[in-house]
Structure 1
Amino acid sequence: MAELSCIIKNSNTKDPRIEWKKIRNDETTYVFFENTIQGDLKDRAEIQAQSWLIIFNASRTDTGKYRCEVAAEEDEIMLAEITIDLTVKVKPATPQCQVPKSVPVGKSAILHCQENEGYPSSVYRWYRNSDALPEDSKTHPKFLNSSFTLNTKTGTLVFSAVNKGDMGQYSCIASNAAGTARCDAQLLEVYDLNIAAIFAEVLVVLAVLVLITIGIRCAYRTGYFAIITGSNEQSDDNPTNPDSFHYLRSDDEGDFRHKSSFVV
């Protein structure tokens, strides 16, 4: 709940006219006009003690400048106003954390932590097991063997080259003036690359390629492809198209003459 006070003192006017306005992003809107709450505060605000504005369930969208204007026609000063700057602070939501499950030694890794509900904007801090990580590993003697940097505004933790000492449970805390929130810890495993196994796999692939090449060359030398080519050409000389037919010439076809015939 937010209470915005607008105190009227020593007024000779029995019922001075009171108006509340909200100013945000250079836009002015009515909040209280003609004795009625206006706009998005209609169902969650009221006027108390003649001129105080009370906002229930205040949210970050209520942040802005509020101006109370009082018009007292029977007073020496007929118009007066006061502006109140309201900032609604919202506790961060549970941040979304992304931690790689496993990373090989010497490779880079990026951990993310982000939430969008808190106001003002959250500041982020990463923890490994129970140790808070500094913004730069080189600035703390406990983390000199690591190679990471932390951006507290974006929540990004970047390792340029991980080592076995970086393995552990990682969690992140988002905090602002309204409170804090923490994501569940996630395990980051760091493992050694098996160079021997990788080299062996490469050798196997090369051996397979060599065997294929030798097989193709032997097939050429023994005339295997030539036999296949010759067989195909022979098949082309004697086509067997199911849609074709042979025309047989009769002996007297050459003496064929047109004869007229009538059917009665």
Structure 2
Amino acid sequence: MAPAQSGAVLGLSLSLLLGACRIQAVKLSSDNLTPTVMEFQSVELSCIIKSTKTPNPRIEWKKIRNDETTYVYFDDEVTGAFENRADLLNRASLMIKNATRTDTATYRCEVVAKSDEKTIDEIKIVLTVQVKPVVPRCIVPKSVPVGSAAALYCDEKEGFPNPTYRWYWNSEPLPEESKSHPKYVNSSFKVDPKSGTLTFTSVVKADTGVYYCIATNQAGSAKCEGHSMEVYDLNIAAIVGGVIVVVLILALIIMGLCFAYRKGYFANSKPSTSYKTPAKPDCVNYLRTEDEGDFRHKSSFVI
């Protein structure tokens, strides 16, 4: 046999041998290890059996969330919370219908092939169910004096992943920092897009207006109603005048009380004389007859 033919035969033999070795092990793969789906939509968790010589391998799906593991597919049946809303697809893949936010978790596909030398293989798939934000709760002060600090809050707790926030003033989007935009250079605000807080170090009259915020994530966005904030000037003269008026009124009240006291309006009235029936002396007995009045005798009187 020629050397070339010998090499070809040897190569073919090695290929067959390697193929035979590979076929002895169950092997899994997936088209998507990190699927993402909107809430209430369907999603496929891809688990593909690439190789096995076991005709009917055992297939199991498990859900891992918050360090808790539960069965999804076991003993050829969908179990637990996925009953009636999940099916096995293409032999080993899992189709979840009407996905909810609680379905966000890590899922493990396990295949046991008893006829293979390597009898078990598994893959993990991380599912994210995105939830659109609801209308955020916005807190805006109604009025703030010039020069004071102020804080506006925007909060939304339903959206997943956590939304980011943007504030609007008179329907115009605000930058994250007033100093970064020439239009707001005279203001002193900062926006935290993660917490949704809009803070003013020192408000000015130009900050008066209608404020609202929008919460946004990959699933959508939601907006709160606009709230008016008025920035007003402090009238120092009016404040000082008010204090003076209060002091004068208190002084007049005190003077009136002193005058009334001197005139005797608060003097105590004379105590009234109370009349009481004279008490009967001790050791005296009183006897009453029809013809006489009270007959008095002392205890020493002997009949």
TM-score range, shorter chain: 0.7 to 0.9
Consecutive unaligned residues in structure 1, runs of 5 or more: none
For 1:183 and 1:44, locate their aligned partners in 2 and report how far apart those are by CA, in whole Å: 34
For 1:128 and 1:150, locate their aligned partners in 2 and report how far apart those are by CA, in whole Å: 12
The farther-off stretch of 55-64 and 108-117 is 55-64
Deviation readout 1:79-108 (Å, 9 max, x if unpaired): 111111112221111111111222222222
Out of 100, 103, 116, the position equivalent to 1:75 is 116
For 1:102 and 1:239, locate their aligned partners in 2 and report how far apart those are by CA, in whole Å: 67
C-alpha spacing 1:254/1:25, structure 2 compared with 1 (3 Å): same
Counterpart of 2:257 in 1: which secondary structure? helix
Map of 1:40-59 to 2, 5 A cutoff? 40-59=81-100
Counterpart of 1:204 in 2: which secondary structure? helix
Q: What's the counterpart of residue 277 of structure 2? A: 246
Deviation readout 1:186-244 (Å, 9 max, x if unpaired): 2222222233332232222111100011112222333333xx22x1xx22x5248xxxx
Counterpart of 1:87 in 2: which secondary structure? strand
Q: Return the letter of the residue paired with 2:163.
A: S
Consecutive unaligned residues in structure 2, runs of 5 or more: 1-41, 281-285, 287-292
For 1:54 and 1:210, locate their aligned partners in 2 and report how far apart those are by CA, in whole Å: 85
Q: What's the counterpart of residue 185 of structure 1? A: 226
For 1:133 and 1:5, locate their aligned partners in 2 and report how far apart those are by CA, in whole Å: 43
Deviation readout 1:103-160 (Å, 9 max, x if unpaired): 2222222211011111111111101023222222223222121112222111111122
Q: Return the letter of the residue paired with 2:297.
A: D
For 1:143 and 1:246, locate their aligned partners in 2 and report how far apart those are by CA, in whole Å: 94
1:32 and 2:73 are equivalent in the alignment: yes
Counterpart of 1:255 in 2: which secondary structure? strand
Q: Return the letter of the residue paired with 1:246.
A: T
> Segments of 4+ in structure 1 off by > 6 A?
250-253
Q: How many residues align?
A: 251
Map of 1:1-264 to 2, 5 A cutoff? 1-225=42-266, 228-229=267-268, 231=269, 234-235=270-271, 238-239=273-274, 246-247=277-278, 255-256=297-298
For 1:9 and 1:178, locate their aligned partners in 2 and report how far apart those are by CA, in whole Å: 34
Counterpart of 1:14 in 2: which secondary structure? coil
Structure with higher Rg: it is 2
Task: Return the offset for 1:168.
Answer: 1.2
